Amino acid sequence: MTVILLALGAACCLGLGFVLQQEAAQYAPQKDYLSLRLLLDLVRMPRWLAGIALMVTGMALGALALGMGDITLVEPLLATNLLFAMALARRLSGQRLGRSGWAGLWLLAGGVTAFIVAGRPHGGAGEAGRPAQWLIMGLVLATALVLAAVAKRERTHVSLEAALLGVAAGLLYGLQDALTRISGERFGQGGWRGLLSTWHPYAIVVLGVLALVMVQSAFETAPLRLSLPALTAAQPLAGIACGVGFLGDQLRVTTGALAWEAAGIAAVVAGIVLIGSHPAMPPGAGKADPVRELQPR
C-alpha cells in the first residue's frame, strides 16, 4: 500500500506540474527552442517554477516507490499522471471531457497497465557495465536524440513536432527510471559514499536536463494534448525495456501474454489518438502567434 500511495502521489505531482509548465512555456521566445536558454528564461516565471517544484516532488516520490516496489507495479501507476493533468487542464480550459476524453484516458492508462501486467517483468539485478546494458542504453538514448533532431527540422507540422519531442523525453525518463532503480540498490548497499562513487546518479541528472529541455520545447510549441500523451506512453515502455534488457527482469512470452501485450499497445495508440483530438488540454500559443515574448503569469 505504501508503494501504491507513493506512486499515485508522484503521478499527481507530475501531472499537475506538467500543466503548469505548459501554461508558462507557451510564452517563451521561439529562439530558445531546444536550447538550455529556454530554461534560463522560464526560470523567471513563477508559474513555471511551481510546475517544476511539483515535478521534482513527483520524481522524488517516484524514486522512493521504485526503491521500495517492483517496476511492474510502479510504472503503470506513474502513467496515471495524465489523469491528473487532464483534471487540472479541464478546470483551466473549462472544457468538458465527454466520452471521448474519458475513453482516451482509460485506454491509455489501461493499455500501458495491460502490457506490463501481462508481461509480468520480475526479479533480478543488473550487472553494471555488461555489454547488454550499454547497448540498450545507447539505443534508447540515440533514438531519443534522433527524434529530437527530426523534431527540430520539422518546424511546419506542430502536432508531429510535439509528439516526437514527447516520445523522446519519455524515452529519456524511462531510462532515468531504470538508472534510479540501480541507484537505489547502490545506496542500499553502500550508502551515500557507495552511490556517489558510481556514474549512475550523474547520468540521471544529465538525462533529466535533456528531457526537461525537450519537454519544455514541446510545451512551448503546441497544446499539451499533443505531447504529454506520447511522453506518458513512452516512459513506462522504455523503463520496462531497460528492466528486461539489463536489469535482469523476466518478461512472459506465452501466447496469452503476448496477445494481451499486443492488445495493450493497441489500446495505448487508441488512447493517444483520442486524447490528441480532445480540446480539454490548454490550447497553447502554437504556430499561429508570430511573436511570443516571455511574460510572467
| Predicted pLDDT at 280 | 60
Average pLDDT value for residue range 200-222: 89
Instruction: Look at residue 269 and tell me if it is in a domain.
Output: no
Distance CA 112, CA 234 (A): 9
| Predicted pLDDT at 16 | 92
Residues 4, 51 within the same domain: yes
Instruction: Look at residue 297 and tell me if it is in a domain.
Output: no
- Residue 71 lies in domain: 1-97
pLDDT over 50 at 259, yes or no: yes
| Predicted pLDDT at 123 | 62
In three-state secondary structure terms, 252 is coil
| Predicted pLDDT at 193 | 86
pLDDT over 90 at 217, yes or no: no
Nearest C-alpha neighbor of 127 from the set 245, 4, 247, 6: 247
pTM of the predicted model over 0.85: no
The dihedral of CA 225, 22, 293, 148: what is its sign? Answer: negative
In three-state secondary structure terms, 122 is strand
pLDDT cut 70: percent of the chain above it: 86
Instruction: Look at residue 118 and tell me if it is in a domain.
Output: no
Average pLDDT value for residue range 191-220: 89
294 in Cβ contact with 36 (< 8 Å): no
Instruction: Look at residue 284 and tell me if it is in a domain.
Output: no
pLDDT bracket for residue 294 (50, 70, 90): very low
Instruction: Look at residue 271 and tell me if it is in a domain.
Output: no
| Predicted pLDDT at 1 | 75
Q: Where among 227, 251, 275 does a domain terminate?
A: 251
Instruction: Look at residue 105 and tell me if it is in a domain.
Output: no
Residues 67, 173 within the same domain: no
Give pLDDT tens digits for 61-113.
Answer: 988 888 787 776 777 778 888 778 877 877 776 667 677 777 887 887 788 77
Distance CA 162, CA 168 (A): 10
HSE at residue 13, side-chain half, CA atoms within 13 A, is 18
Residues 160, 244 within the same domain: yes
Distance CA 115, CA 103 (A): 18
Residues 133, 241 within the same domain: yes
Q: Most confidently modeled of 29-38, 171-180, 238-247, 254-263?
A: 171-180
Domain count, the chain: 2
Pairwise pLDDT comparison (222 vs 176), residue with the higher score:
176
Mean of pLDDT over the chain: 80
Residues 149, 242 within the same domain: yes
Residues 144, 36 within the same domain: no
pLDDT over 80 at 295, yes or no: no
Residues 37, 132 within the same domain: no
Residues 134, 225 within the same domain: yes
pLDDT bracket for residue 248 (50, 70, 90): confident
Instruction: Look at residue 111 and tell me if it is in a domain.
Output: no
pLDDT bracket for residue 12 (50, 70, 90): very high
Amino acid, res. 66: L
Distance CA 13, CA 6 (A): 11
pLDDT bracket for residue 223 (50, 70, 90): confident
Instruction: Look at residue 285 and tell me if it is in a domain.
Output: no
Which helix (H) or strand (E) element contains residue 85? Answer: helix 81-93
Provide the grid cell at 211.
528531457
Residues 247, 185 within the same domain: yes
Q: Where among 234, 251, 268 does a domain terminate?
A: 251
Residues 137, 171 within the same domain: yes
Give pLDDT tens digits for 129-157.
Answer: 578 788 888 999 999 999 998 888 866 57
Residues 88, 132 within the same domain: no
Distance CA 163, CA 174 (A): 16
In three-state secondary structure terms, 13 is helix
Distance CA 25, CA 219 (A): 6
Residues 83, 194 within the same domain: no
Pairwise pLDDT comparison (207 vs 118), residue with the higher score:
207
